[in-house]
Structure 1
């Protein structure tokens, strides 16, 4: 799961190169983007908001926009703090990269729903495989598996 997300972030390499990041920092900034996305999704699950994550990956716009905004803000702050980008440049890069990456990631995860790289596999991975989210949501009658 992490590798798939990291690959999608790497596909945005041009945006990173066009930013004011130093050449030596590009790779680290890409890994940081992946880390922020994982952090925000994991935090949602850790705080009992698995239903919000499920809604995010099934296309509910209100949840999609809120979580994407949280990822974008967190990444901008990390770019500012750890990569010394001024806040304006950090926000510009974050707003360019995170929504595009998440659109692709959500689409790929949806397409692989019945595989271990689908939304349930991802949620299980984020929880440290402590919960079987497919069974969890089926018991709640929240989702049906085709």
Structure 2
């Protein structure tokens, strides 16, 4: 595809309102960019043609290069391997949550009753019960 300077000049003017002369150095940059892009596209097309050539010559289906992984065509949402990994991740999550809960149960202390509230509760008891309760607290 050849570069049409007049069309590009008109496009720049329509988009920006800036008049660009066809002798402007920016056109050299655009032409250079176009040449580099065209060369890169040709290289990639040649690589693709080279990869397909052996299979096309024998009439066989396309064989990917070594190390390439095929794209799965299964209609199942997950493969067996993915299901095993998902189950393992779920198991690890459950075990971790259980470990955290067990750790909290072992290492946390109950809050207890604040002393001021305990003193008020003791004052509401009769003398005999209060004396027995205080005796148990001092043991």
- Give TM-score, length-normalised by structure 1: 0.27
Which structure exhibits the higher relative contact order, with contacts defined as CA atoms closer than 8 Å and separated by 6 or more residues? 1
Q: Which has the higher helix share?
A: 1
> Larger C-alpha radius of gyration, 1 or 2?
2
